[in-house]
Structures are given as C-alpha cells and as structure tokens.
Amino acid sequence: MTIEVSKANGILTLEFNRIERKNAITSAMYQSLADAINAAQDDTDVRAILLAGKPEAFTAGNDLEDFMKTAATYTGAFGDRPVFQFMRALSGSAKPVVAAVSGLAIGIGTTLLMHCDLVYAADGTKFSVPFTQLGLCPEFGSSLLMPLAGGHARAAEKLMLGEPFTAQEAYDMGIVSKVLPAAEVLDHARAQAAKLVALPAASIRTTKRLMTSSRKAQLEAIIAEESKLFFEMLQGAEAKEAFTAFFEKRKPDFTKFS
C-alpha cells in the first residue's frame, strides 16, 4: 500500500509509503488520504490525525507522470479531482491534524503543511514550492497563507524563486511548529497528538474552528482563483517546456517566452 492507514489510542495515522519514488503522490494516493480523513470526521474513536512520511522523504510532491496523465485524461468535474478532495478534507477537518516531516517536503508536500495544525520537522528537511520553475503558480491557498505566516518578502522569495529552504527557515516563517533531530520527529509528533487526544474533544474542535473561521471565505476564494490559473498555465507553453525538460533531464529554456 502506498498510504498506510492505522488507528490506535485515538490517533488516525496516515503514512506515505512509496519511498522508492520519494513518496511522490499519485491520484490514487490522494483519494486514499481524502477518504480516510473524511471518514475520521464521524468516527468517535478518532480524536487526532497524524500525517507522516519516511525519514528519507515526507513527500516529493506530485508524481509528475501520474499528474500529467491525470490532467490530460480526467473527465470528472474540475473540483472532484482526487487532489482537490484531499485538500478539502485536510483544510476542512474539524479534528486536529499533526504532521511529522523529514527528508523532503516538495510542492504540495509543503503546501499541505499550511493546512495542518501542528507541524514538526527534522532539522535536515528540505522544503520547496517550485511552481514558477514549472511554469505554474501557487496552489491551494499558499499565495495567501505563506505571506500571512511569514510576511510578503520571505514568502515572495520562496514562491517566486521556488528554491529549496531549510527547516529553520520554515520555522521562522511559521510553517513549522518546532524543529527537531530527525530521530525524534515522529515520536514527538505522536506524543503531541496524544496530548490532543487527552484534552476535551469539543474544546479542541471549537478552538480550531475559531482560529480558522475568519479566513475561511478568503481562503476558499483564493484557492478557486489559484486552481483556475494553475490549470490554465498547465496548458501553456512555459509549463510544457518545463515538463518536457524535466522528462528529458535537461535545463528548461524560458528565454523564448515573453
């Protein structure tokens, strides 16, 4: 299984398990994640959700081969794509979500963390949101949430240049709750989830709702705009050059585009 799902002591653990591809996410994996998070909302045995990867990689983001194939062949409604189902489930979860991050958190691997409540990262983790390098734009609210968390200047550096940044930088920007040695990350995240389980569930849900409700409408609007532009740009010449260069293992040439 590429998503390991387990439940114990009030914690639903969802673990990326495709390390041979650096936990790159396929449509089937997104669907599994969405289904598990949605099911947890009505499961009284689940009081917290834990997202984790492997020490080598949290996730390298979208599996680009699967992503391109799905983008070209998917016939369902725009917002019904599995990735949308997952992100709606994650951002809309009434129950607290804790993330344990090590190795790599690329693209949506960084974006999704902004929709979690507690994020613990290994000190050697490399983050990046390389959408401009692919001829694309930010996704799933990152153009709103990253500047809100870290300020315009630091967010612009990450979102415009798309270059990797460190766990300490992610902490300084408010994306990460705490940076830990790699060997301690998962245990610490699980212990924090256990603390949430032990607290009054209604109080945790209400506190989370109050913290997120003021930006809910704005976030939904920006996600809709980002998504429209993202898929328009995916059909553009710059994105085609970027993806062709990726698969041909060469550096893309954007100088011919204005």
Any domain includes 99: yes
CB 101 within 8 A of CB 54: no
9 vs 81, which has greater pLDDT? 9
177: CATH: 3.90.226.10
**What does pLDDT average to over the chain?**
95
Please enumerate, as own/partner, the contacts of 71-76 that have beta carbons within 8 Å and a separation of 24 or more: 71/231, 71/234
**Has residue 73 got a pLDDT over 90?**
no
Domain that holds residue 120: 3-182
- 242, two tokens: 């970027």
150-186 pLDDT, tens digit each? 999 999 999 999 999 999 999 999 999 999 999 999 9
Q: For 150-156, which contacts have Cβ atoms below 8 Å and span 24 or more sequence positions?
A: 150/174, 150/175
Q: Among 44, 20, 41, 45, which Cα is nearest to 96's?
A: 41
- Confidence band, pLDDT 50/70/90 cuts, at residue 15: very high
Question: Which one, of 119, 123, 130, lies nearest residue 61 by Cα?
Answer: 130
pLDDT of 76 over the 80 cut: no
In a domain, 192, yes or no: no
Residue 157 lies in a domain: yes
Does residue 241 lie in a domain region? no
- Phi and psi, residue 56, nearest 5°: -75, -30
DSSP per-residue string spanning 179-241: EE-GGGHHHHHHHHHHHHHHS-HHHHHHHHHHHHHTTHHHHHHHHHHHHHHHHHHHTSHHHHH
Q: What is the pLDDT of residue 258?
A: 84
Residue 68: is its pLDDT beyond 90?
no
| Residue 171 in domain | yes
Q: E strand or H helix at 52, and its extent? A: strand 48-52
Residue 193 is assigned to a structural domain of this protein: no
Q: Kindly state the percentage of the chain with pLDDT values over 90.
A: 90
**pLDDT at residue 176, rounded to an integer:** 98
Q: Copy the structure tokens of residue 237.
A: 């010449």
- pLDDT of 33-64, one tens digit each? 999 999 999 999 999 999 999 999 999 999 98
Q: Can you tell me which residue has the tokens 């804790």?
A: 98
**40, 48 Cβ separation under 8 angstroms:** no
- Residue 225 is predicted with a pLDDT of 95
The neighbour count for residue 21, using CB atoms within 10 Å, is: 16
- At 186 the pLDDT is 98
Asked whether residue 224 is assigned to any structural domain, the reply reads: no
In this prediction, what percent of the chain has a pLDDT beyond 70?
97
Nearest CA to 33 out of 84, 80, 83, 86 is that of: 86
Q: List the alpha helices (DSSP H) in 54-184.
A: 64-73, 82-92, 108-111, 142-150, 152-161, 167-172
Q: Is residue 137 part of a domain?
A: yes
User: How high is the pLDDT of residue 102?
Assistant: 98
For 124-157, how does the pLDDT look when each residue is reduced to its tens digit (9 = 90+)? 999 999 999 999 999 999 999 999 999 999 999 9
pLDDT in tens, 199-227: 999 999 999 999 999 999 999 999 999 99
Tell me the pairing of strands 104-106 and 126-128: parallel
Span between the terminal Cα atoms of the chain, in Å = 44
Q: Report how many domains make up the chain.
A: 1
